[in-house]
Amino acid sequence: MSNATLQSTARPKLIRPGRNKNFSADRRPGFLTYGILLAFLIGSTYPLWYSFVIGSSTGAVFSSAWPPLLPGGQFWTNVAEVFDSVDFWATLGNSLIVSSVITFSVVTFSTLAGYAFAKLRFRGRQGLLVFVIATLAVPTQLGIIPMFMMMKELGWTGSLGAIMIPTLVTAFGVFFMRQYLVDNIPDELIEAARVDGASMIGTFWHVGVPAARPAMAILSLFTFMTAWTDYLWPMLVAPQTPTLQVALSQLQSARYVDYTIVMTGALMATIPLLLLFIVAGKQLVSGIMAGAVKG
């Protein structure tokens, strides 16, 4: 007993009665946590704000020693200049077309194949699935030389189609849909549909697709983002019909770089994805937390 008393005086904090009550799932953290998160938030958003500050100023802003905090009044002038130097709407249109087609194709084919791998029995299924998983590690980026030769041979260079072709399917998409569907459609449901006389495609359409919808939404989001942000391949194969990223990079390639214009352009190119983020940010977060995008 005296031993216990001794201990409690030596380390009162550790065995203070009711200490465990302090730890519970709904205990709120202190201000330090919020302070750290706020600092991280500022760090995450300041570069964007900085691009707005520079993009709305004249070049004079560069002479200020301290980080500029307030935007100037030049934003619309600079926007107009961006419109003068690149055909913003055309490149935006190109990006939209490319990203939408890629997204549609990847999601459609991934859902079909993912559903087959998850729920249908057929010869060679296991082997083919292993093949899909193995190809996850293959970076398509490294095949750019033959791909470029192929496009040139076919005379497709410079077209939007050439930009899309390399990413019309992804092994990741198939794997992702398979993983989702394997747990989210009960086998009985498919059997019931078959017994009721539904064809295979009918079963897929009436049972598979509704069940796959949440995963399809997440896959669409990530595929769209990946396609939208791609730079290497569009720059290489179709500089004549630039996507937004390619046009943006061209803003900077002039001999004399006007950073205020470059910053305005960077901001303008970011706005579409920021809008998407505002609309679908929650899904994006849950997608990442579900391990949605692995490379």
Partner 1 sequence: MSTTTPMPRPKLRAEKPSTPTPERLQEAKAERKMRRRHLRGRLDFKYSPYLYISPFFILFALVGLFPLIYTFVVSINDWDLLSGAGDWVGLKNYQAELASPLFWNSLFNTFSIFLLSAIPQLVIATFIAAMLDQNIRAKTFWRMSVLVPYVVTPVAVTLIFSTAFDEKYGLINNLLGALNLDTIAWKTDVFPSHMAIATMVNWRWTGYNALILLAAMQAVPRELHESAAIDGAGAIRRFFSITLPSIRPTMIFVIITATIGGLQIFTEPKLFNPSSSVPGGPDRQYQTTVLYLWDLAFNRGDFGRASAVAWMLFLIIIVIGVINFLISGTIASSSDKRRPRRIPGRKAKRIKSHPTGSLRESANDE
- Window 23 to 62, contacts with partner 1 (CB under 8 A): 23-29, 33-34, 36-37, 40-41, 43-45, 47-48, 50-51, 54, 62
Among 80, 90, 149, 192, binds partner 1 (CB under 8 A): 149
Among 1, 142, 188, 240, binds partner 1 (CB under 8 A): 142
Q: State which of positions 206-245 bind partner 1 (CB under 8 A).
A: 225, 228-229, 231-232, 236, 245
* Token pair listed for 194: 């078959």
8 Å CB contact between 103 and 227 = yes
8 Å CB contact between 245 and 227 = no
**Cα–Cα distance, 162 to 147 (Å, whole number):** 9
The backbone torsions φ and ψ at residue 31, rounded to the nearest 5 degrees and listed phi first, read -65, -30
In one letter, which amino acid is 140? T
8 Å CB contact between 287 and 172 = no
In whole angstroms, how close is the CB of 217 to partner 1 at the nearest point?
A: 17
CA angle 113, 119, 122 (to 5 degrees): 75
* Token pair listed for 292: 């949605």
Q: State which of positions 162-201 bind partner 1 (CB under 8 A).
A: 165-169, 171, 174, 199-201
Q: State which of positions 271-290 bind partner 1 (CB under 8 A).
A: 273-274, 276-277, 281-282, 284-285, 288-290
Give 51 or 241: the residue with its C-beta nearer to partner 1.
Answer: 51
In one letter, which amino acid is 139? P
Residue with the two structure tokens 């005296």: 2
In one letter, which amino acid is 30? G
Residues in binding contact with partner 1, number by CB under 8 A: 110
Q: Residue 110, interface with partner 1 (CB under 8 A)? A: yes
Q: Which part of the chain contacts partner 1 (CB under 8 A), choosing from 86-94, 145-153, 155-163, 183-191?
A: 145-153
Q: Which part of the chain contacts partner 1 (CB under 8 A), choosing from 73-81, 85-93, 96-104, 138-146?
A: 138-146
Among 101, 150, 209, 217, binds partner 1 (CB under 8 A): 150
Q: Residue 205, interface with partner 1 (CB under 8 A)? A: no
8 Å CB contact between 273 and 267 = no
Among 17, 73, 139, 155, binds partner 1 (CB under 8 A): 139
CB atoms within 10 A of CB 120: 13
